[in-house]
Structure 1
Amino acid sequence: MAPVWSKQPFKAVYVAILLVKVPVMLLLGTRFAFKPLRPLGRLSFKITLINSLVREWLLFAAQTRSSGMGTVKSDHEKMKERSAQAQPASIEHYTGVLTPQATRSPAPVGGLWYPGPPPANSDLKREKIVVHFPGGAFVMAFGADVNGQNFSKPILEELKADRLFFAQYRVAEDESTRFPAPMQDLVTFYHHVLKMGYDPSNILLSGDSAGANILTGFVRYLEETSVLPSPKGVMLWSPWTNPSVKVKEEYNQATNANADLLPTKLLEWGVEAYFPVSLSKEVVPYLCPLHHAFKTKSSLFVHTGDAEGLYEPTRDFAQEMSEVEGNRVKLHVTEGASHNPVYARDGTGMVAEIYRAFEDAHQFFYGEN
Structure 2
Amino acid sequence: MVSLLSRQPWKGLYVVFLVGKAIIRLPWLLMRYSLPSTRPLPEWSLRMSVIRDLVLQLHEYNVATLSNDMASVQADHERFPDRFALAAPADLHLYTGVLRPDAATQPAAVGGLWYPSPPRAGAFADDEKIALHVPGGAFVLAFGQDMHGRDVAGAMARHLGVSHTFVAQYRLSSAGGEDTRFPAALQDILTVYRYVLSLGVRPQNVLLSGDSAGGNLALALLRHLEATEEPLLPRPGGVLLWSPWVRVTASAGAEYAASRRAGTDSMLFSLLQWGTEAYLPGGGKTPVADEQLPYISPLHHPFRTRVPLFIHAGGAEVFYDDVRAFAGQMAAVDGNRVRFAETAIAGHDLIMSYAGLGLEAELEVVMSDARDFLSRAD
Give the equivalent residue in structure 1 for 2:274: 269
Give the equivalent residue in structure 2 for 1:205: 208
**2:24 equivalent to 1:14:** no
Contact 1:124 1:197 in 2 (8 A): no
| Alpha-carbon spacing, 1:124–1:64, altered in 2? closer, same or farther (3 Å) | farther
Give the equivalent residue in structure 1 for 2:251: 246
Give the equivalent residue in structure 1 for 2:103: 102
**2:374 equivalent to 1:365:** yes
Give the equivalent residue in structure 2 for 1:312: 321
| Alpha-carbon spacing, 1:65–1:253, altered in 2? closer, same or farther (3 Å) | same
Relative to the length of structure 2, the TM-score reads 0.93
Give the equivalent residue in structure 2 for 1:286: 295
* C-alpha displacement of 1:259: 2.0
* C-alpha displacement of 1:125: 5.0
Q: Which string of whole-angstrom CA distances, capped at 9 and with x for unpartnered residues, describes residues 36-93 of structure 1?
A: 4334444333212111111110111111111111221221122112111111111110
Code of the residue aligned with 1:287 in structure 2: it is I
CA distance in 2, matches of 1:205, 1:346: 21
Gap regions ≥5 residues in structure 2: none
Contact 2:186 2:220 in 1 (8 A): yes
| Alpha-carbon spacing, 1:275–1:120, altered in 2? closer, same or farther (3 Å) | closer
CA distance in 2, matches of 1:358, 1:151: 12
CA distance in 2, matches of 1:121, 1:108: 22
Contact 1:200 1:231 in 2 (8 A): yes
* C-alpha displacement of 1:121: 6.4
Give the equivalent residue in structure 1 for 2:186: 183
Give the equivalent residue in structure 2 for 1:81: 82
Contact 1:40 1:256 in 2 (8 A): no
Note the 1:217-256 alignment, pairs <5 A.
217-225=220-228, 226-256=231-261
* Secondary structure in structure 1 of the residue aligned to 2:107: coil
Code of the residue aligned with 2:224 in structure 1: it is Y
* C-alpha displacement of 1:245: 0.6
Contact 2:122 2:200 in 1 (8 A): no
* C-alpha displacement of 1:303: 1.0
Contact 1:125 1:197 in 2 (8 A): no
Note the 1:107-118 alignment, pairs <5 A.
107-118=108-119
Q: How many residue pairs get matched?
A: 368
Relative to the length of structure 1, the TM-score reads 0.96
Contact 1:124 1:199 in 2 (8 A): no
CA distance in 1, matches of 2:64, 2:58: 10
Give the equivalent residue in structure 1 for 2:138: 137
Provide the alpha-carbon RMSD of the alignment.
Answer: 1.6
Contact 2:122 2:199 in 1 (8 A): no
| Alpha-carbon spacing, 1:94–1:124, altered in 2? closer, same or farther (3 Å) | farther
CA distance in 2, matches of 1:178, 1:170: 9
| Alpha-carbon spacing, 1:49–1:73, altered in 2? closer, same or farther (3 Å) | same
CA distance in 1, matches of 2:249, 2:72: 28
CA distance in 2, matches of 1:216, 1:318: 12
* Secondary structure in structure 2 of the residue aligned to 1:193: helix
* C-alpha displacement of 1:35: 4.0
Give the equivalent residue in structure 2 for 1:259: 264
| Alpha-carbon spacing, 1:125–1:106, altered in 2? closer, same or farther (3 Å) | farther
* C-alpha displacement of 1:344: 2.5
Q: Which string of whole-angstrom CA distances, capped at 9 and with x for unpartnered residues, describes residues 264-309 of structure 1?
A: 1111111111111042121111111111111111110001110111
Gap regions ≥5 residues in structure 1: none
* Secondary structure in structure 2 of the residue aligned to 1:158: helix
